[in-house]
Amino acid sequence: MQKLFRYIKPKEWGLAFVSLCFIVAQVWMDLKSPGYMSEITTLVQTPGSAMSDIWLAGGKMLLCTLGSLAAAITVGFFAARIAATLAKDLRSLLFDKVEAFSMEEINRFSTDSLITRSTNDITQIQMLVTMGLQLAIKAPITAAWAITKIAGKGFEWTAVTGVAVLAVIAIFAFLMVFVMPKFKRIQIMTDDVNRVTRENLTGLRVVRAYNAEAYQERKFERVNEELTGLHMFVSRTLAVMSPMMSSIMGGLSLAIYWIGAYLIHNAAAPAKLTVFSDMVVFSSYAVQVIMSFMMLVIIFMMLPRASVSAKRINEVIQTEPTIINGHKTEGAHGVRGEVTFEHVSFKYPDAAEYILEDISFTARQGETIAFIGSTGSGKSTLINLVPRFFDATEGEILIDGVSVREYDQEALYNKIGYVPQKAVLFRGTVASNVAYGDNGGDGYTDEEVRRAVAIAQGAEFVEKMAGTYGADISQGGTNVSGGQKQRIAIARAVCRKPEIYIFDDSFSALDYETDRILRKTLKNETKGVTCMIVAQRIGTIMDADQIVVLDEGRIVGLGKHRELLKSCDVYRQIAMSQLSEEELAE
């Protein structure tokens, strides 16, 4: 928790200090009131006292109360501000951190947990800070101050007050033993509810089409019920708290008056009045003491939950990304767009088996290198190593003669135009999706966007859309077809004017003709750009300068189409299943 307080800015610390002053003022005024009360009591009981004196004391008491109210409101305002600012800063911090994470860290935390951590967990901290500032400082000051005021005013009264305080602490300790362990579970269950909800929403079409609503509902019910159960348990247990505290408070007043009755009875006649007035004052201070302890109890009840949240937030903040940034921005002199794999082997974090083994090849500037192989042979894994989504377990990947690990990531990404296997579109317009991100220049002109879309063979359909380049794209690109989505994603890569294209099966949703024209245009329009293409279709890669044939993570063939047909069994089999006799013979 303290670790998070480091993120409170000096300005907010300043506000916190001002709040402290207001709180002290408030406590002072709160504790002043009983004094006036006893004054009034004495005045009323003394024969011949002037009405104006009673009014005066009453007026002062009223002023104190109003002052205390004003101070409380001010502190409330400040506390809300400090807490909200802290929450905002923590959210930004988490967002930035998660952006720097590689797939490994994201998988480790899980997306759902990262979402709850940056929303619900931060809210817990925010609540604690808001309440904490108002109560945690006020309570001990009040308690200590009030105790000094009543100390020595009567041994019997002090004793019962002590007993009441002990009772409050005992009840609190008892409850906490039962409630505390549940808090951690509540946050984990919140993650789970989030996960099931997200899964259901993203897979909605499949859920519908497979009549799986009931199944999904059951799944949701399970987590939902457990979370509800936990909340019920905690709330019910805490619900006992409030009436118990009121009883203690009532009981204490009763005990004080009871003891007071005896004391007054036994006192000598002139002293009776003093004892009575003492009793009135004592009981109001005693109530203040108990109230402060109750406030502390409230804070202590929030503390465990918030500390669970703080821990979860800290876990994210303190995780160092496994992908460490290098500092080179340029490749070796005289090389551009060259990709070299040197004996690269790779296994996924925590996995036992290697997915790629001993991969070596070089793609020179302007060359097209293609990767083919059965599904699961490791093609996507291989090309995902180039933009460092993961780091190679063994071996080295060089771009322009420099290891990818040594590049500043921004510089590395500026060299690459990456189109993932599953095209990703963001909510916005066609243009905002194509002109996406930053390539080190000052943004893209409309002309560049148009040209990129034209190269990606998207001009025709984009210009037919309502609003053409300004046409809306919904989140995930659900309002365009699969092939259209791929073309917008390709246009995005083209728009960057990279040194190296990486297409992970990015032509799969295009018809053969569009596929052919697109590749031809790309080759003509972006000369000198190296092209790494993963494809399932022989037709897409036939004319590549090099073809890498992958089988179970190993290279089983490397060469041109004709050579491979002769020398590589795996390749010949793929070719035979896709091409006619004449095409093979050509």
Q: Which residues here bind ligand ATP, judged by CB under 6 A?
A: 348, 351, 355, 373, 375-381, 421, 505
Q: Which helix (H) or strand (E) holds 12?
A: helix 10-45
| Lookup: tokens for 111 | 């997306």
CB of 245 to ligand ATP, least distance (A): 53
Torsion of CA 555, 560, 565, 566, to 10 degrees: -90
Say which entry of Mg ion, ligand ATP, none residue 163 contacts (CB below 5 to 8 A, set by partner kind). none
Secondary structure of 421-452 in HEC code, one letter for each residue: CCCCCCCEEHHHHHCCCCCCCCCCCHHHHHHH
CB of 360 to ligand ATP, least distance (A): 18
Binding of residue 414 to Mg ion (CB under 5 A) = no
Q: Minimal CA–CA distance to 230: which of 184, 197, 165?
A: 184
Is residue 429 within 8 Å of residue 471, measured between CB atoms? yes
Is residue 37 within 8 Å of residue 54, measured between CB atoms? no
**Nearer of residues 104 and 156 to ligand ATP, judged by Cβ:** 104
**How far is it, in rounded angstroms, from Cα 346 to Cα 368?**
23
Say which entry of Mg ion, ligand ATP, none residue 195 contacts (CB below 5 to 8 A, set by partner kind). none
Segment interacting with Mg ion, rule: CB under 5 A, options 5-13, 67-75, 292-300, 417-425: 417-425
Strands (E), 148-208: none
Single-letter amino acid code for the residue at 493: A
Percent of residues in the chain assigned helix, strand, coil, to nearest 5: 65, 10, 25
**Nearer of residues 483 and 553 to ligand ATP, judged by Cβ:** 553
CB of 359 to ligand ATP, least distance (A): 12
CB of 570 to ligand ATP, least distance (A): 13
Query: 354-413: which residues touch Mg ion (CB under 5 A)?
Result: 380
Say which entry of ligand ATP, Mg ion, none residue 355 contacts (CB below 5 to 8 A, set by partner kind). ligand ATP
Is residue 383 within 8 Å of residue 339, measured between CB atoms? no
**How far is it, in rounded angstroms, from Cα 358 to Cα 353?**
13
Number of residues written out for the chain: 586
Contact track, Mg ion, 418-437, x by CB under 5 A: ---x----------------
Q: Minimal CA–CA distance to 479: which of 504, 452, 461?
A: 461
**Nearer of residues 347 and 415 to ligand ATP, judged by Cβ:** 347
Contact track, Mg ion, 461-480, x by CB under 5 A: --------------------
Say which entry of Mg ion, ligand ATP, none residue 336 contacts (CB below 5 to 8 A, set by partner kind). none
Q: What residues are paired with 158 via a beta bridge?
A: none
CB of 391 to ligand ATP, least distance (A): 14
CB of 498 to Mg ion, least distance (A): 20
**Nearer of residues 26 and 380 to ligand ATP, judged by Cβ:** 380
CB of 382 to ligand ATP, least distance (A): 7
- Which residues lie near Mg ion (CB under 5 A)? 380, 421
